[in-house]
Amino acid sequence: MKTKAAFFGNTATTQNVYGQERIEQLNKLADFYPEVITNENFDEKAAELKDIEVIFSTWGMLALTPEQIELLPKLKAVFYSAGSVKFFARPFLEKGIKVTSAVAANAIPVAEFCLAQILLSCKRFFSNVSETRKDGKFRRDTTGKGVYGETIALIGVGEITRYLLMLLKPFNLKILAVSNHLAQHPEKAEALGIDEVVSIEDAFKRAYIVSNHLPNLDSNKNIINKKLLSSMRENATFINTGRGAQVDEGALVEVMNNRPDLTALLDVTEPEPPVEGSPLYTTPNIYLSTHIAGSLNDEVHRMADYMIEEFKRFDAGDELLYGIDLDLFDKLA
């Protein structure tokens, strides 16, 4: 007998992430409830969901209360085709329901995006293009150190950083990392391809490119401050694909105005988007992108593929690869 399953979340987002091909694939693997369960119809449909054993979801997953989860007595697992499960997973985990996510899949495009920005920043691509356009002539004087032997700092070592480290291996770069955990386990850092685990202060002072990958924790709010940014090397670049709230953006604007040699590449801001009239839009050496580093368009199907394969392991009674451990939940991004 097929496992009883249902899609939970926003109907349009579910269709976008899974796509018709993958929905058809899942319908061959499991017996799906015929409608997507949303915040609007959960109470109405709850009595019909008592036999559901697994949930498939993505961005827009319902943050169910413990009382609502009680209405799903046979539920065994949630397969989340997106990244962080922080906003919804705890009540499920506390009831012994497995939660697994495609955070590893979502890390891939972010790491690829960061790799591209790191390599381009080593050449001072962004400043070079900006200055060339402004002057209307080639600016050979606006060039970077190059991608050979330079020092890169990665702030935080999670899924994205680990994949990025793999992508960086072919390049002759010295990799610094900021990680409290790896500071206690240098052998693990070495195995990942990290040359040195350093303090955040050393990272900003020594690296030519600093890329932020800190987890989304309250303790990291505004951790990247004026002192750190001011200490950056001449012509250095700061990349943020982490969270906007981790950067003191007022201090960032001040430092960037005082240090036109520096470059900031921001894919995230706080708030997002920045308020109308924010100097983040107009400071010449700050470059904004519209939170495009993560999974977009065709890339979102990778997340669904990861969870389909994870479900196959679950259905076969095999160990899950991407399951969330309640003991580590509070440390998750």
Q: CATH for 106-288?
A: 3.40.50.720
Distance (Å, rounded) from C-alpha 62 to C-alpha 326?
19
pLDDT digits (tens, 9 = 90+) for 17-66: 999 999 999 999 999 999 999 999 999 999 999 999 999 999 999 999 99
Instruction: Say which range, 8-22, 138-152, 186-200, has the weakest mean pLDDT.
Output: 138-152
pLDDT digits (tens, 9 = 90+) for 305-320: 999 999 999 999 999 9
Preceding amide of 215 cis, omega within 30? no
What DSSP line would sit under 244-270, residue for residue?
GGGB-HHHHHHHHHH-TT-EEEES--S
pLDDT for the residue numbered 137: 77
What DSSP line would sit under 31-61, residue for residue?
EE-SS-B-TTTHHHHGGGGTT--EEEE-TT-
- pLDDT band (50, 70, 90) for residue 333: low
Structure token digits, residue 87? 């906003």
Tell me the average pLDDT across 93-101.
96
pLDDT digits (tens, 9 = 90+) for 234-261: 999 999 999 999 999 999 999 999 999 9
Distance (Å, rounded) from C-alpha 197 to C-alpha 64?
40
DSSP category for residue 299: G
pLDDT for the residue numbered 142: 77
**Which regions of the chain carry the CATH code 3.40.50.720?**
3-105+297-331, 106-288
- pLDDT band (50, 70, 90) for residue 211: very high
- pLDDT band (50, 70, 90) for residue 332: low
List the one residue out of 219, 217, 181, 175 whose CA is nearest residue 194. 175
pLDDT digits (tens, 9 = 90+) for 258-286: 999 999 999 999 999 999 999 999 999 99
pLDDT for the residue numbered 143: 87
Is residue 331 predicted with pLDDT exceeding 70? no
Is residue 75 predicted with pLDDT exceeding 80? yes
pLDDT for the residue numbered 141: 74
pLDDT for the residue numbered 314: 97
From the centroid of its chain, how far is CA 139? 35
| Helix, strand, or coil (residue 176) | strand
pLDDT digits (tens, 9 = 90+) for 98-126: 999 999 999 999 999 999 999 999 999 99
Task: Output 111 or 140, whichever has higher pLDDT.
Answer: 111
Q: CATH for 3-105+297-331?
A: 3.40.50.720
List the one residue out of 305, 329, 253 whose CA is nearest residue 104. 305
How much is the pTM? 0.91
